[in-house]
Amino acid sequence: MSTLFRFSIPTMKCGGCARKIRAALEPLAGVHDIAIDISGRVVELRIDGGDSTPVMAALAQAGYPAETVSADTALEAEPDHCSIDDPPQQIESGGDGMRLAITGATCASCVRTIETALSSVPGVERASMNLADHSAHVLGAASPQDLVAAVEAVGYGASVVEDDNSLEEERERAEQQLYRRLIRDTWLALGLGAPLMAWMVFGGSMMVHAGGASQLVWLLIGMLTLAVLVFAGGRFFVGAWKAAVHHNANMDTLIAIGTGTAWVYSMVSVLAPSLLPEQARHVYFEASAMIIGFINLGLALELRARGRASQAIKRLLGLRATTARRVADDGSEADIDIAQVTTGMRLRVRPGEKIAVDGVVESGSTLVDESMLTGEPVPVSKQAGDAVSAGTINQQGSLVYRATRVGKDTVLAQIIALVKKAQGSRPPIGRLADRVSAVFVPVVMLVAIGAALVWFNIGPEPRASYAMVALTTVLIIACPCALGLATPMSVMVGVGKAAESGILIRQGEALQTASELTTIILDKTGTITEGKPSVTKVFGYAGWSEDDVLALAAALENASEHPLAFAVMEAARERGLNAAMVSDFVAENGKGVQARYHDNLVRIGNLRWLRDEGVDADAGSADARSITDQAGTPLYLALDKALIGVIGVRDQIKPDAHAAVARMHARGLKVVMITGDVRGTAEAIGREAGIDEVIAEVLPADKASHVRALRDRGERVAMVGDGINDAPALAEADVGFAIGTGTDVAIESAGITLMRGSLHGVVDAIAVSSATVRNIRQNLVGAFLYNVLGIPVAAGLLYPLTGLMFSPVIAGLAMSLSSVTVVSNANRLRLFRANPDGEAV
Amino acid sequence: MTTIWVNAAGLAAMMMIVWWFWLWKPRNAVDTKDGVIDIRVANGTYTPALIDSPAGKPLTLRVLREDASPCAEYLIIEGLGISETLPINRLYTVKLPALAAGEYRFHCQMNMYQGILRVH
């Protein structure tokens, strides 16, 4: 049996330390499963037999004295079993679990107590504490509140450390360091390469004359070039070697072989000129140095451009509050760290402040700017009972709200997670580039050697020099990076750009499909219309007055949750009517409701249902037509078999629906409306919104089959609905758009989620998707063309016709600029506006 | 004579490339023990780059990215829809469900880092 040991190593500070520690531990017999947590300065490993002495000794010898934090012979808990068919979203992942800041711990005994307390919380797989930085790492599915409570219960303090910001800061810090190093290396390499290049350009000889002073000078320059290769380009050689050992080849391989070959050839010219024909005793030290300089410069520029490309995530992370103002039960208020906020806590937000977590307003009223999440520029009014979201800004009054979702459960956190995931996803359009880039480097190596052999065998004198130049130039000009970056950079910028306007694109595939749509199906209620119907007309028959009809209808609708029911009840309430007493309520989905009123059966619903039930509704035909002509929906009220009333309910069309549909038409899209409403009403609304085709009187369960029918006709179909009632139809479409008002939309319910209710969001999403896919195409075509044209030219294909042959230095410049060009082109998407005449995307 | 030697060396190098990068069949895969495997991301390679895992059992990848270069930032596992952003110098956990037998390639955004997870 092996024992799981956990060692604290306070002197471990960086990746270099981790490498040394790993190198010290790996050779030890019986030691396995070594895991190094640099941030926690902890090493975990398993030791067969349980004797940690050799490990402690090896660590001390490597310069990293360790302290045993824990030893555990218990088997690790198995994660929950998932079936093979589990969807990808069930795959859990995350930075090293949850991190807690611990206070009050002073010794190893405290560590043990805290770890035991944390491990006892249901859902915790493993907990470890680092005394050095007073933090605990917890793996598993326990809630933050339970973990904090468990630590507090044993006499210590704890708070959850929200890690995303610190991770982002750490990434930025590391990238900044890398950037500075790349710039330093650029100067170092160009500092040697540029004077040599100038010497050559201005007529200086690059030939070695055996026995002359030039031989010594070139030897000195050769040594300086070697220093440049080691100090400014060493990582390319290390990377190339490591990749080769793993039977992989990458960009480092090309750079290392290219610059290495040029240097070795030059040194042969210098040290053993007799091995080469006199004309071939050329040195290419300037090429080696300049290539290293240019490639470092290219990487630095690329790093900067990439930083700009990921600004959307930075902006979202920046929306998070760091503190919240807690309102205690006695009314006192105090600022607390955001990590300490738990659900149910009462919080105050003052004018101008960010709302810290998701919650429900308990008191106060204000206007809240939600544009950062929804893209909706108009501030939203909030009062008691309304939901508020983390990251939005309170503009006016002071609010007290109760926290309902904290930490990773907030809408903002979900958006950040979704955008991060989507930014790394790959649309199908990039698959060819993936396949090519996977085999690209070895193919280029073969081409380079082949070209060199051709030059050596049939080229002009000095053949050896030409062969060497062809080999180096082909290796250096080939750029797998441009191919590899073409798709992901555009996706990163495009998805981020969409998120800034409240458009959440879940995967690369949805992004690509959205750019290929031919038909948009819009659900009516809540999508084209406001989803807040109101009663416009009431007609009574058979001696029933308008008020009697409305009172009885309100009684029937009282138990219904249909939007039309709310409209009827609201109208009755406005007229001050008391609802009649009914019993035995039964709802017929998609038809209406019925109940007992005294000894009679009363029904309210659509005409078809009442007729099926034998009700003679002819008396209301003319009034119903007048309702449908004005895009209203008639509700028929029957007492037993007699029609006693018709109620007109109208759901106002969204003010910008017509303009949004017109934009869809302008993009060549066919627009279809689907609804359960009666045909007359549906067609009236369709006319008002400019819809091409209306599919009416569809039961909710049948919407998906209509979507399928359109797809079967060869259309690329998008379904736009609320994401909850329309879930099957959304899933059936090529792309599902879930549209919500404010931040109450179900984010995970569709391929694309629109955080604001406007239909313009659909067109904006399609526009940004099309622009992104266009950008990807530009990048792919550019990267393929660059390599397809560049490699043959570098191999010397134009030489027989024009006498032109690329210098390796030019190849280095071209290569370094090619990937920068791809990233810069992707960054152009940041300036894209989906609707230049309206709101920007 | 020199011409023959140079051509022979060139052809040998070409054959070596074909064998080394395409024809070579990996033998020394690292077995996952206890359903957990640590992967180091540094110097253009994943270590280990070849992992064997039993089918039908969940697997946890603990990934430590030491390379600050943006190339190493994403870990993509083909066929599983996984695309994870790796923090720098921090152990990052990716939990996989029980997988069907087969080969799952994992790589960085630009396909420069490459590895294979063999499930059987």
Residue A784 has pLDDT above 80, yes or no: yes
Cβ–Cβ gap A96/B38 under 8 Å:
no
Could you tell me the pLDDT band of residue A673, with boundaries at 50, 70 and 90? very high
Residue A82 has pLDDT above 80, yes or no: no
pTM of this prediction?
Answer: 0.74
Looking at per-residue confidence, does A241 or B29 come out higher?
A241
Contact A251, A434 (CB under 8 A): no
Instruction: Give the pLDDT score at A555.
Output: 85
For B99-113, the pLDDT digits (tens) are 889 889 898 877 788
Virtual CA dihedral for A811, A816, A821, A822, nearest 10 degrees? 110
Looking at per-residue confidence, does A841 or A380 come out higher?
A380
Give the mean pLDDT of chain A: 83
B26 contact residues in A (CB cutoff 8 A): 247
For A158-179, the pLDDT digits (tens) are 776 655 666 677 778 888 888 9
Give the mean pLDDT of chain B: 85
Q: Which residue of B has its CA nearest to A177?
A: B68
Both tokens of residue A700? 């909710």
A76 contact residues in B (CB cutoff 8 A): 34, 36
Looking at per-residue confidence, does A517 or A74 come out higher?
A517
Distance of alpha carbon A483 from alpha carbon A26, whole angstroms: 37
Contact A388, A770 (CB under 8 A): no
Judged by CB atoms within 8 Å, which residues 143-172 of A form the interface with B? 167, 170-171
Crossing angle of the two packed helices A144-153 and A108-119, in degrees rounded to 10: 140
Residue A670 has pLDDT above 50, yes or no: yes
Residue A563 has pLDDT above 60, yes or no: yes
For A275-289, the pLDDT digits (tens) are 888 888 889 999 999
Nearest CA to CA, how far is A90 from chain B (Å)? 8
Instruction: Give the pLDDT score at A75.
Output: 32
Instruction: Give the pLDDT score at A89.
Output: 31
Residue A454 has pLDDT above 90, yes or no: yes
Residue A693 has pLDDT above 90, yes or no: yes
Q: What is the 3-state secondary structure (H, E, C) of A789-833?
A: HHHHHHHCCCHHHHCCCCCHHHHHHHHHHHHHHHHHHHHHHHHCC
Instruction: Give the pLDDT score at A769.
Output: 95
Mean pLDDT of A541-568: 83
Virtual CA dihedral for B11, B13, B18, B19, nearest 10 degrees? 110
B33 contact residues in A (CB cutoff 8 A): 32-33, 46
For A414-449, the pLDDT digits (tens) are 888 888 888 877 788 888 887 888 788 999 999 999
Instruction: Give the pLDDT score at A361.
Output: 93
Looking at per-residue confidence, does A103 or A203 come out higher?
A203
DSSP A365-387: -EEEE-HHHH---S-EEE-TT-E
Residue among B58, B74, B93 minimizing CB distance to A82: B58
Catalytic residue among A185, A252, A523, A726: A523
Residue A88 has pLDDT above 80, yes or no: no
Distance of alpha carbon A826 from alpha carbon A721, whole angstroms: 31
Helix and strand element counts for chain A (H, E): 27, 31
Q: Which amino acid is at A240?
A: A
Residue A840 has pLDDT above 60, yes or no: no
Could you tell me the pLDDT band of residue A747, with boundaries at 50, 70 and 90? low
Instruction: Give the pLDDT score at A134.
Output: 65
Q: Is A86 on the interface with B (CB under 8 A)?
A: yes
Contact A135, A99 (CB under 8 A): yes
A67 Cβ contact list (under 8 Å, min separation 6): A7, A8, A9, A10, A108
For A7-28, the pLDDT digits (tens) are 778 777 665 677 778 778 877 8
Distance of alpha carbon A404 from alpha carbon A356, whole angstroms: 11
Of the listed ranges A127-141, A219-233, A236-250, the one predicted with least confidence: A127-141
A248 contact residues in B (CB cutoff 8 A): 21, 44-45, 49, 114
Q: Counting beta carbons within 10 angstroms of the beta carbon of residue A23, is it exposed (0 to 12), middle (13 to 18) or buried (19 or more)?
A: exposed
Looking at per-residue confidence, does A340 or A793 come out higher?
A793
Judged by CB atoms within 8 Å, which residues 48-67 of B form the interface with A? 49, 56, 58, 60, 62, 64, 66
For B22-39, the pLDDT digits (tens) are 888 766 677 776 788 888
Q: Is A435 on the interface with B (CB under 8 A)?
A: no
Instruction: Give the pLDDT score at A777.
Output: 94
Residue A86 has pLDDT above 60, yes or no: no
Could you tell me the pLDDT band of residue A841, with boundaries at 50, 70 and 90? very low
Residue A243 has pLDDT above 50, yes or no: yes
Q: Is A456 on the interface with B (CB under 8 A)?
A: yes
Of the listed ranges A104-108, A393-397, A634-638, A642-646, the one predicted with least confidence: A104-108
Q: Is A523 among the catalytic positions?
A: yes
A452 contact residues in B (CB cutoff 8 A): 10
Residue among B14, B80, B83 minimizing CB distance to A449: B14
